Structure 1
């Protein structure tokens, strides 16, 4: 997807979370490790929730921010979910799955953080700050839940 505006960025983020949710769900069905499979199920529903939350940003964001062109995005290393296939996580361990998911979320947060400083209008900066806050909050929640699951 070509990202030219903040609206494109939000749509790309939403699609990324949706793709990851589907990969996690499909992999959960095939992973033979019971703990890893349970983690994949949890992560799939978590990514689905994130996808819906990002969709709400699309609906409620200031049109001035959404239509603002992005020039600095191209300077950032592209992010994509590691899952090229829908069964990417099927043979991974609990720890490997958790590590990869956190790396993915860290990349998204790093992108938002780098773009905040480059936002040219206050509305775009506020939008990015809200998106970053959502990702940070969800990453903390995810970390807490995964720690609990790991303790079991």
Structure 2
């Protein structure tokens, strides 16, 4: 997807969370280790929830913010996710899955931080700050839940 506006950015982020949810769910069915399978199921549900949450930003955002151009995005490294779900998580252990998914969220947070300082109008800055806060909060929740599951 080509990102030109903040609306495109939201769509792209929503699609990435949705893709990750589907991939994690798909891999959970093929994961042999019970603890890793449970983690994948939890992460898939969490990512699907994030997909809905990100979509709500688009419905509630100020139209001025949504239609603001994201010029600086073009020079920023795009978030990498397994664009082809070729079962990468089905073959990973618990800690590898955590590292991979946490890295995905860290990249999203980095992108939002990068764009926060470059938003040209207050409405766009507010939107990106809200997205950043949501991603940071959700990443923190994921880490806490993974640590609890690791302790079991």
TM-score (norm 2): 0.98
Q: What does residue 88 of structure 2 align with?
A: 88
Superposition pairs of residues 28-107 of structure 1, within 5 angstroms = 28-82=28-82, 84-107=84-107
1:26 aligns with 2:31: no
Runs of 4+ aligned residues of structure 1 deviating over 6 Å after TM superposition are none
1:28 touches 1:41 (CA, 8 Å); kept in 2? Answer: yes
Shift of residue 83, structure 1, vs aligned partner: 5.2
Where does structure 1 lack aligned partners over 5 or more consecutive residues? none
Q: What does residue 14 of structure 1 align with?
A: 14
**How many residues are matched?**
152
1:65 touches 1:124 (CA, 8 Å); kept in 2? Answer: yes
Q: What does residue 132 of structure 1 align with?
A: 132
**CA distance in structure 2 between the aligned counterparts of 1:108 and 1:36, rounded to whole angstroms:** 24
Shift of residue 78, structure 1, vs aligned partner: 1.0
**CA distance in structure 1 between the aligned counterparts of 2:81 and 2:23, rounded to whole angstroms:** 9
Structure 1 residues 149 and 43: alpha-carbon distance in aligned structure 2, compared to 1, 3 A threshold = same
**CA distance in structure 1 between the aligned counterparts of 2:85 and 2:61, rounded to whole angstroms:** 32
Q: What does residue 117 of structure 2 align with?
A: 117
**CA distance in structure 2 between the aligned counterparts of 1:78 and 1:114, rounded to whole angstroms:** 12
**CA distance in structure 2 between the aligned counterparts of 1:150 and 1:83, rounded to whole angstroms:** 27
**CA distance in structure 1 between the aligned counterparts of 2:32 and 2:5, rounded to whole angstroms:** 42
1:27 touches 1:40 (CA, 8 Å); kept in 2? Answer: yes
Shift of residue 80, structure 1, vs aligned partner: 2.4
Where does structure 2 lack aligned partners over 5 or more consecutive residues? none
**CA distance in structure 2 between the aligned counterparts of 1:31 and 1:53, rounded to whole angstroms:** 27
